[in-house]
């Protein structure tokens, strides 16, 4: 299953906001201008504006107006699951077009409506969906921020 650049760039945006928020509460963090995220991550500003609107609608980020305005996380990074981020940007996760998740985690296959037989591949796509969902739900923004900080390229210290 391939996610689009919406998920890729949106997650990178969230990681950058998480890195700049530090360990404090989100309300205490300075708002981050999207232009600085675009520059740091080498991403198109106009695309980030589109993505941040979706993240704001999903209540994952908040905006601050004014000369020193920008965006910041709506809650601590440890409380933001990547499942919420990806679904806010991509919509429902479905490994196949015929796959539809309904309430209480039940899965329907549109092919089953074609006749009275169960879809032969439903078990496979249900397991794929479950694996992806579990991985995303089990990964927080704090996990990604920590990983990014540990693997950041550091400038050598002149001595």
CB 86: neighbour CB atoms within 10 A?
22
Enclosing H/E stretch for 11: helix 5-21
Enclosing H/E stretch for 56: helix 45-57
Q: 57 by DSSP, 3-state: which?
A: helix
CA angle 46, 81, 128 (to 5 degrees): 100
Q: How far is CA 24 from CA 10, 28, 37, 105, 112, in A?
A: 22, 6, 20, 35, 50
pLDDT of 99 reads 67
* Tens-digit pLDDT profile for residues 14-70: 999 999 887 666 777 789 999 999 999 999 999 999 999 999 999 999 999 988 889
Q: Is the pLDDT of residue 8 over 90?
A: yes
* Tens-digit pLDDT profile for residues 100-157: 666 555 566 665 555 556 777 778 888 888 899 999 999 999 999 999 988 876 655 5
pLDDT of 152 reads 75
pLDDT of 4 reads 93
Enclosing H/E stretch for 159: none
């Amino acid at each position: 299953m391939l996610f689009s650049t919406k998920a890729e760039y949106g997650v990178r945006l969230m990681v950058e906001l998480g890195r700049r928020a530090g360990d404090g509460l989100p309300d205490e963090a300075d708002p981050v201008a999207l232009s600085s995220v675009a520059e740091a991550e080498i991403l198109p500003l106009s695309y980030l504006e589109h993505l941040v609107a979706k993240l704001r609608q999903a209540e994952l980020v908040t905006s601050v107006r004014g000369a020193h305005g920008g965006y910041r996380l709506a809650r601590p990074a440890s409380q933001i699951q990547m499942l919420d981020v990806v679904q806010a940007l991509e919509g429902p996760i479905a490994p196949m077009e015929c796959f539809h998740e309904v309430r209480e985690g039940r899965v329907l296959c549109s092919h089953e409506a074609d006749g009275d037989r169960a879809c032969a591949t439903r078990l496979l796509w249900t397991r794929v969906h479950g694996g992806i969902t579990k991985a995303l739900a089990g990964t927080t923004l704090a996990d990604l921020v920590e990983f990014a900080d540990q693997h950041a390229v550091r400038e050598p210290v002149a001595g």
